[in-house]
Amino acid sequence: MNSRHRDAVLATGVTVCVLVLARAMAVDPNVLFRPGLLLLGAAGALALELLMAWVPDVSRQLWNDVRVQILAVVVVLGGGVVLATLSGVWVFGVVIGGLATYFVLLVFVLTGIVPGPETWFERSD
């Protein structure tokens, strides 16, 4: 399985878990899809992708480490629950916005509409 497909499977699993957790915490579905929260999540996802695209070799090396992948899942799920408990369920809307943005970007990259992030900041040495 290529790394982009692996990442899609991982992100799908995280999305399902986030939705299950939101349901378990009785989050109103309207909260999950508030435009402002979705935009905040989208901005965060794009910022993260841009940061990783800026240093693609470092990003690839880190992300190919299974421990980093597991840590990312734990941070998103565990951190989301802790933040939602402490500050409100709006956190789930932000996470859903970020994941949705990731999926759209992934589709664009896989279909060739957008080049892979590793090429966004190519430098000639």
Give yes or no for a contact between 45 and 99, defined as CB atoms under 8 angstroms apart: yes
Give the amino acid at 92.
F
Q: What are the CA-CA distances from residue 124 to residues 4, 91, 119, 121 (Å)?
A: 25, 40, 12, 10
Q: How do residues 85-97 score in pLDDT, each as one tens digit?
A: 898 899 999 999 9
pLDDT value at residue 123: 75
pLDDT value at residue 3: 87
> Averaged over 9-32, what is the pLDDT?
92
Domain ranges, ordered by start, for the chain = 3-119
Q: How do residues 24-57 score in pLDDT, each as one tens digit?
A: 999 999 988 999 999 999 999 999 999 999 999 9
Give yes or no for a contact between 42 and 100, defined as CB atoms under 8 angstroms apart: yes
pLDDT classification of 122: cutoffs 50, 70, 90 = confident
Half-sphere exposure at residue 54, Cβ-oriented, CA atoms within 13 angstroms: 6
CA distance 14 to 17: 5
pLDDT value at residue 125: 61
